[in-house]
Structure 1
């Protein structure tokens, strides 16, 4: 499979290695990136990144490819997706695929024009063995109707410090932390619920990565942990006095259109991290943790544990609990043979809209009703948005 890359950062550098492992015919024909942080990752593995091009248009005009992969900073995703779709290419974009509600409408209109099946998304956790087993248990009726969900994504201080130092610390480049980091998780639980979110409330802020909590204020000079993960574009050394505008903790409450409720919590200063969920249904309960690698399912009638699975990534260097390897294999099969994928661009848009609404609720301290958003989104996706704009003009 031949691919071109726009935005050869750390993420696509790693994915280039994973795809190369999964497909003996994988080839990167060229890339666009003025400062390709992921290039050394490929070179270390003996993988060529092809020719460097100045612009996406130059890359597309001069190379034949089966897939255009986008790993540029989030604020550029929509334009790069547009360029690929309008060139007639199949496009893979890292998450989040857009970074505002208005961009969600705009991309929905593009997908109406070009077909949403032309856009693949890097919501990699849908490919994880744990999530697949959760959905299998649900489909087998072990949970019954889903009633409520408690979920979280927590990351260690070294990773949280990376967000405070990287370009992702700025909402105008990355979107909010909830969008940039947690859209993975929100997508998973949207899938479990099987309905769109309707009402959202949220609270959060920054209380850990603040000047008064800097280790130097306690006489501690060893700051190695906070610089362990390298930052890329617009990287900085400041952690506790970061000039970024992202939060370091947030809690949200969601009610879905079918009445299911969910609480979701994120914190980026958790020493013993976990990424867990508890899905409670009328007939059973599923509890799992991607970091600690388990899935337990209990029967509500007799408390019997009917599933007790444990999970381990393929290697110590594997990202996302082995899901990257499965995603690469499935994407190659999809491009070659049209095999179905477990997540779509529409799933990504709905997860992004939920994340963005969580931040609107946090900033306004209001419960947000998503019904008007879904109405505009559906109009854009179905091609009726332009007609509505003409009528209101």
Structure 2
């Protein structure tokens, strides 16, 4: 499989290695990136990045390939997706798919015109063995109707410090932390509920990565932990005095259109990190943790443990609990054989809309009703949206 890349950052540098492992004939024919942070990973793996081009248009006009991969900063995704679709290409974009409600409308209108099957999205957790088993338990009737969900994504201090130092610290480029990092998780639970979110409330802010908590102010001299993960574009050394506008903790409450509810919690300063869920249904409950590698399912009537699964990543260097490897294999099968994928561009837009609603609720200290958003989104998706929304 031959690919071209717009935005050769750390993520696509890593995925280049993974795709090469899944497909020995994987080849990058060219890329567009003024400062390709992912180049080092490709060099380490002996993978050529192909030729460098100044613009996406030059790349597309000069090379022949099977898939256009987009790993540019989030605020550029919509334009790069547009360029790819208008050129008649199949496009893979990293998450989040876009960075605002207005861009969600614009992308819906774009997909209405070009079809959404040609746009793939890197919501990689859909490919994880744990999530597949969760959905299988649900399909087997072990949970019954989903009633409520308690879920979280927490990251370690070194990872939180990366967000405070990287371009992702600016919401104008990333969208928000909830969108940039947690859209994975929100997509998973949207899928489990099987309905769209309707009402959203949220609270949060920054209380850990603040000047008074800087290690030098608390008698700690080892600062290496907060610079362990390198930053790329617009990188900074500042952690506890970051000029970014992202939060370092946030909680949200969601009610779905079918009446199910969810609480979601994220924190960037969790020393013993976890990424867990408890899905409680009318017939049973499923409890699991992606980081700690388990999923248990209990029957509501008998309290019997019906499922007791344990998981381990395929290697110490594997990201996302083995999901990247499965995603690469599935994308390759999709491109070469037309095999269906477990997640769509529409799933990605809807997860993004939920994340954006969480931030609107947090910023405005209000409950957000998403009904008007879904009406406009559906209108754009089916070709009856306003011209303003379509051109946003």
Please indicate the TM-score interval, normalised by the length of the shorter structure: over 0.9
SS at match of 2:96: coil
1:24, CA displacement in angstroms? 1.6
Change (3 A) 1:295 1:109: same
1:220, CA displacement in angstroms? 1.6
SS at match of 2:8: coil
Task: Decide whether the 8 Å contact of 2:149 with 2:262 is kept in 1.
Answer: yes
SS at match of 2:287: strand
* Aligned: 1:35 with 2:1: no
Structure 1: tracts of 5 or more residues without a match: none
SS at match of 1:60: helix
Aligned residues: 390
SS at match of 2:29: strand
Aligned to 2:117: 117
Matches within 5 A, 1:40-119: 40-119=40-119
Aligned to 2:138: 138
Task: Decide whether the 8 Å contact of 2:102 with 2:389 is kept in 1.
Answer: no
TM-score (norm: length of structure 2) = 0.99
* Aligned: 1:218 with 2:186: no
SS at match of 2:69: strand
1: distance between equivalents of 2:20 and 2:122?
Answer: 17
2: distance between equivalents of 1:218 and 1:292?
Answer: 30
1: distance between equivalents of 2:91 and 2:312?
Answer: 30
4+ residue runs of structure 1 moved beyond 2 angstroms?
386-390
Task: Decide whether the 8 Å contact of 2:105 with 2:389 is kept in 1.
Answer: no
1:95, CA displacement in angstroms? 0.1
* Aligned: 1:282 with 2:277: no
Q: Can you list the C-alpha shifts for 1:239-275, whole angstroms capped at 9, x where unaligned?
A: 0000000000000000000000000000000000000
Higher mean Cα deviation, 12-21 or 214-223?
A: 214-223
Change (3 A) 1:94 1:208: same
1:124, CA displacement in angstroms? 0.1
SS at match of 2:222: coil
1:218, CA displacement in angstroms? 1.4
2: distance between equivalents of 1:257 and 1:169?
Answer: 32
Aligned to 1:291: 291
TM-score (norm: length of structure 1) = 0.98
Aligned to 1:15: 15
1:221, CA displacement in angstroms? 1.6
2: distance between equivalents of 1:24 and 1:37?
Answer: 23
Q: Can you list the C-alpha shifts for 1:141-190, whole angstroms capped at 9, x where unaligned?
A: 00000000000000000000000000000000111000000000000000
* Aligned: 1:344 with 2:344: yes
* Aligned: 1:25 with 2:25: yes
2: distance between equivalents of 1:389 and 1:220?
Answer: 51
2: distance between equivalents of 1:33 and 1:340?
Answer: 30
1:107, CA displacement in angstroms? 0.2
1:389, CA displacement in angstroms? 8.1
Aligned to 1:153: 153
2: distance between equivalents of 1:263 and 1:353?
Answer: 16
Aligned to 2:384: 384
Aligned to 1:204: 204
2: distance between equivalents of 1:264 and 1:328?
Answer: 28
Cα RMSD over matched residues? Answer: 1.0
Aligned to 1:362: 362
2: distance between equivalents of 1:319 and 1:219?
Answer: 33
2: distance between equivalents of 1:361 and 1:386?
Answer: 25
Aligned to 2:239: 239
2: distance between equivalents of 1:151 and 1:387?
Answer: 38
Change (3 A) 1:96 1:389: closer
Aligned to 2:331: 331
1:387, CA displacement in angstroms? 7.3
1: distance between equivalents of 2:17 and 2:372?
Answer: 42
Structure 2: tracts of 5 or more residues without a match: none
1: distance between equivalents of 2:149 and 2:192?
Answer: 9
SS at match of 2:335: helix
Aligned to 1:272: 272
Aligned to 2:373: 373
1:386, CA displacement in angstroms? 3.9
SS at match of 1:137: helix
